[in-house]
Amino acid sequence: MGMFVNLAFYLVAILILLIIVASAVKILREYERGVVFTLGRFTGVKGPGLIFLIPYVQQMIRVDLRTRVLDVPSQDVISHDNVSVRVSAVIYFRVIDPEKSTIQVEDFMMATSQLAQTTLRSVLGKHDLDEMLAERDRLNSDIQEILDAQTDAWGIKVATVEIKHVDINESMIRAIARQAEAERERRAKVINAEGEQQAAAKLLEAAEILARQPEAMQLRYLSTLNIIASEKSSTILFPFPMELGNLLPVKPK
């Protein structure tokens, strides 16, 4: 009877020892780090691989270092030219300092999301609607720089910010279409006016040349007669300039 009691005692002791060892051994993947606290005080960051903790004395918080994707909910933004739009975005970020992301902020995912929403409204509110639609790359860069600077204290690196959608109400879409049509008409009129101006300048230049050289005007007159004669089969009467008579040979009497 005493032997069975001793055997049961040893089995219980071995089981307790295995439980203690299992709680002391941790395995961290390549993209994980462990923030270790000893009696509540930060004592270091460990990993990846096999690490050992003192049971009930040390605790560990796992931190994932992979890039995370955060959808920023649609935000109501009033542009600089007083146009109301709804803008949504996506943010790519990762933890670069496990210690700061654990100690300096309670929930870095929630904190980054809230900061992204306020920054999106603040930055886009300083720009006109045309800039939101045509200069997204520059706006993405501005938002990314602001977020990255503010999340640095949390051990967060914001790699990319992309504005996904800029939603405009139907009445504003029609107004933009009318504006675009008016702009196209304006450009057409400007191009036509520039063409007329260039043509007038060339005509004036030609007139000045012909005025300086009367013989050139006479040659141009003859060239025009030749072109008309080759294209028309009917008889056409033209006034004959008296100045051309001086160019014709005179038969001797």
The pLDDT tens digits of the residues spanning 80-128 come to 888 888 999 999 999 999 999 999 999 999 999 999 999 999 999 898 8
Out of 122, 139, 168, a domain closes at 168
Q: Is residue 226 part of a domain?
A: no
pLDDT for 37 beyond 90: yes
Instruction: Look up the pTM and report it.
Output: 0.64
Q: Is residue 3 part of a domain?
A: no
- Same domain for 134 and 76: yes
- Same domain for 155 and 87: yes
Q: Is residue 39 part of a domain?
A: yes
- Residue 239 has what pLDDT? 57
- Same domain for 157 and 73: yes
Out of 129, 149, 168, a domain closes at 168
Q: Is residue 236 part of a domain?
A: no
Bridge partner residues of 172 (DSSP) = none
- Same domain for 161 and 90: yes
- Residue 249 has what pLDDT? 52
Report the number of distinct structural domains present in the chain: 2
Out of 33, 48, 63, a domain closes at 63
The pLDDT tens digits of the residues spanning 182-233 come to 877 888 888 888 888 888 887 777 777 767 766 666 666 666 666 666 665 5
pLDDT for 43 beyond 60: yes
pLDDT for 241 beyond 70: no
Q: Give the integer Cα–Cα distance in Å for 29 and 40.
A: 24
- Same domain for 161 and 145: yes
Range of the domain at 141: 68-168
44-67 as b/e: b if 16+ CB within 10 A: ebbbeeebebeeeebebeebebee
- Same domain for 102 and 151: yes
- Same domain for 98 and 120: yes
Q: Is residue 118 part of a domain?
A: yes
